Copies of this chain bind each other. A is one copy, B any other.
Amino acid sequence: MNPPDLTRGDFTLPGEAGHEALTLRLARQWGADTIRDSDGTQLSPAIEASGYAIYSTLCLPRSVQPWAREHRDQLQQNFLMSQPVVADRAVTTITLLAGFYTEQFAVNFQDRPRRWWQVFDRTTGREVPKTRWSVNPRRGAVTIRGTVPGHRYTVNFLAFRIWEEISMYNHLTNHWGDREHLAAVDPMQPAVQQVLLAFLERWLREHPATRVVRFTSMFYNFSWFWGADHARLRDLYSDWGDYAMTVSPRALRGFERKYGYRLNSEDFVNGGLYNSTHNAPSRRYRDYMDYIHGFVIEFGRRCIDLVHRHGKLAYVFYDDHWIGVEPSSPRFREFGFDGLIKCVFNAFEVRLCAHARGVRTHELRLHPYLFPTGLKGEPTFKAGGNPTLDAKNFWIDARRGLVRAPIDRIGLGGYLSLVEPFPDFQDYIAGLAREFRLLKSFHAGGRPWSAPGKVGVLTAWGDLRAWTCSGHFTRGVVLYDVLEALAGLALDVVFLSFDDLAARGVPRDVKVVINAGRAGSAWSGGHYWDDPQVETILTRWVRRGGGLIGIGEPSARPRPGEHFRLARVLGVDRDTGDRVANGKYRYPSPSGRVFATADHFITADVTAALDLGADVDGIYLVDGETEVLAEREQSPRLTVRESGRGRSVYLSGFRFTSENTRLLHRAVRWAARQERAWAAWTTSNVRTEATWFPRSGKLVVINNAAEPETTAIMLGDGGVVPVELAAHGLAVLDLPAG
């Protein structure tokens, strides 16, 4: 194997017209092979002619202004639920857009409201017959007759979106004043398809220098409904994975033809909850997703074919208008994309990008973006900012994923001119790019070592939402923290859905199953536990030797007397308040011991009181066979149990920290009965992690902390190697390949 050239390649630089010299200097310094434009920047002919490959961003649905605004019936639409109104008399009028941002929404009165809309008496939970209400387009209202005073009423109605959300957000955030409001057209409309394909054809002809068309992304944005009162409630609803903004009468008719049954507005509105990725999805909604995915592939492929016919590559951005793209879907390859670009803050997003099959190139857009201020308004590339430190901290978060999974390219975005006053940042990025190329070269030599067997993360979504919950890392959804921990561990992780499990059982190579989340969530599973097969398969599997880790409210699906369906396997259940009269097993309190944690293989590296975030209370033991390793206020927080030949671990919550990542790692190995093989390739210091590339004989040790750390690596042969690491540092040790 030739030694890799670590100084150049696989790097996408954001160019900026008017800053040609800087652009070309940094392209050389950072070893870029590609120059891109960004939202708000252009490339000049000089840059385009400089010999670098050129990326051009393109967002098709908002590309055809003013046609879009002149054809309002061709805009994208969605169902909204009006604010509930309490009736005072027998006739009640509801102003449909009350509380909504009317620059975003306009009621769709033209598509037969009586067919598509629904009015609900939310007090009884029943639909109001369509003969009892009428629309008043002039007032933007619905009038309901025969209302019962004291009952609550809502209207589910269709609204066009007259301002595309990303345009709206950037416009309002950056005070763009009277700059044009871009609207997004709906490619499900035949007229729109014609307009878009014609536009794309022309655009491709007009961009001869472009090597890669970077779509942002396909057609439908993630869901984002704005409120009228931006100070008090701007985001009425926002979900990175909800298909709400794809709906139209045309889509619904097409669905009915294809699936043989009719969806109604409440399938989307769901009492105002809509279909957040975080909640266990209905089967009807999943059919709809499948339908839209099919459409986005079908029309998307026509666009991509056009790109290819012009001799260019097509990459897709894994954010913004990504709905229906579904890079984890087995059908994703049907698009024919050449690359996938993911903007990443952390490790599980790196894994998310790497996980997509069906593209040749997996590229990361790193943080910080080259903007004056960061995401929370903190200074970045301006006085008071420390962009180099920001870059280091983002890098050590993402790097945990990069050592575990191969990524092909990295890059930056934003205004390149902003980095000019920060020479240390320029130097750091050059080093970072070299570190990336080094890791890429190790992956090219063969997969890193993982513990034998696989860890299966069981959710309602399964592999379709592998390595993510819904968008970037948000505190409060425990699976984010779990995934972030797993993303950097020497474990092979697969994602299982309940349907996978019911159909095929636990895959043979899976040693440990993790189920983590609150009751009713897509992550814990909610109604998917209604299929008794799921409990049966997991119960038998554990009793025959499988390992189960439950976190928060695993297998929660309440029935009288039980909250967790796997309570007998986990050895714990949760009292949500209806067990006042039922006794609870007393257990030896672990609180007499150091840090209130009992001695056990799993807790061997615990050096402080457990911090499991906002964890679950009311946990009780189902019998005397469960061992409590940690508790709080008489509620067990960490328990272990043998069940037949298998093992289970329960954690009342999880927060991503170095300490807890180690705890989870040990829990997985214990549940898999691999605690004797634990030592190999682990570190003595939990703030450091080691990755062994056996084919190339490289041992990569990373420091996940912003301070220098000392650690020791336990080698596969029982030896121990001490390593000193700089803050944010990385060390590579050459060992005999094995």
The interface residues of chain B lying within 8 Å CB-to-CB of A278 are: 578, 580-581
Establish whether residues B227 and A543, one from each chain, have CB atoms under 8 Å apart when the complex forms. Answer: no
Establish whether residues B239 and A581, one from each chain, have CB atoms under 8 Å apart when the complex forms. yes
The answer to whether A123 touches B535 (Cβ under 8 A) is yes
Complex Cα–Cα for A88 and B645 (A): 12
Residues of B within 8 A of A150 (CB): 535-540, 543
Q: Of the candidates B274, B536, B537, B577, which one forms a contact with A518 in the assembled complex, judged by CB atoms under 8 Å apart?
A: B577
Q: Please give, as numbers and ranges, the residues of chain B lying within 8 Å of A584 by CB-CB distance.
A: 233
Q: Is A3 an interface residue (CB 8 A)?
A: no
The CB with the most chain B CB atoms within 10 A, among A242, A274, A474, A582, is that of A582
Report how far A199 CA is from B587 CA in the complex, Å. Answer: 46
**Judging by beta carbons under 8 Å apart, are A238 and B540 in contact?**
no
Interface residues of A: mostly helix, strand, loop or mixed?
Answer: loop
* A435 in the interface (beta carbon within 8 A): no
In the assembled complex, A139 has its CB within 8 A of some CB on chain B: no
**A574-598 with Cβ < 8 A to chain B:** 576-587
Contacts of A565 in B (CB 8 A): 123
A581 with B232, Cβ < 8 A, contacts A537-B150, A561-B273 known: no
B233 near A577 with CB under 8 A, answer no
A694 at the interface (CB under 8 A from B): no
How close is A571's CB to chain B, nearest CB, in angstroms?
12
- Which B residue sits closest to A565, measured CB to CB? B123
Q: Give A305 Cβ to nearest chain B Cβ, in Å.
A: 35
Known A520-B578, A578-B521: A123·B536 in contact at CB below 8 Å: yes
Contact A470 B536 (CB under 8 A): no
Task: Please tell me if the beta carbons of A232 and B88 are within 8 angstroms of each other in the complex.
Answer: no
| Chain A residues numbered 84-101 whose CB sits less than 8 Å from any CB in chain B | 84, 86, 88, 99
| Interface membership of A103, Cβ < 8 A | no
Question: Looking at chain A, what size class is its interface with the partner chain?
Answer: 35 or more
Q: Give the residue of B123, B560, B582 whose beta carbon is less than 8 angstroms from that of A532.
A: B123
Q: Contacting A149 at CB < 8 Å: which of B238, B540, B585?
A: B540
A223 to chain B: which residues have CB within 8 Å?
Answer: 581
Given A150-B536, A532-B124, the answer on whether A237 and B272 have CB atoms closer than 8 Å is no
Q: Is the CB of B271 within 8 A of A561?
A: yes
- A148 close to B (CB within 8 Å): yes
B232 touches A587 (CB 8 A): yes
Q: What are the residues of chain B within 8 A of A630 when measuring CB–CB?
A: none
* CB of A605 to closest CB in B, whole Å: 30
From residue 200 to 242 of chain A, which have CB atoms closer than 8 A to chain B? Answer: 223, 227, 229, 231-239, 242
Is A20 part of the binding interface, using a Cβ–Cβ cutoff of 8 Å? no
| Residue pair A279, B578 in contact (C-beta under 8 Å) | yes
Given A236-B583, A477-B580, A151–B532 Cβ distance below 8 Å?
A: yes
Residue of B nearest to A577 (CB): B518
Whether A235 contacts B583 by the Cβ 8 Å rule is yes
Q: Which residue, A229, A233, A270, A521, has most C-beta atoms of chain B within 10 A? A: A233
A interface, CB within 8 angstroms of B: 81, 83-84, 86, 88, 99, 122-125, 148-152, 223, 227, 229, 231-239, 242, 270-274, 276-279, 470, 474, 476-477, 518-521, 532, 535-540, 543, 559-562, 565, 568, 576-587, 623-624, 644
Minimum-distance CB pairs A-B, first 10: A271-B561, A271-B560, A276-B581, A150-B536, A272-B561, A239-B581, A150-B540, A150-B539, A518-B577, A235-B583
Extra contacts besides A86-B568, A476-B580 (8): CB < 8 Å: A150-B537, A152-B539, A232-B587, A273-B560, A273-B582, A276-B582, A278-B578, A519-B577
Can you list 30 A-B contacts (CB < 8 A)?
A81-B561, A84-B568, A99-B623, A122-B562, A123-B532, A123-B536, A149-B536, A150-B539, A150-B543, A151-B536, A223-B581, A229-B624, A232-B586, A233-B585, A236-B582, A237-B583, A239-B581, A242-B581, A270-B561, A272-B560, A272-B582, A273-B578, A274-B581, A277-B581, A278-B581, A474-B580, A476-B580, A519-B576, A519-B577, A520-B578
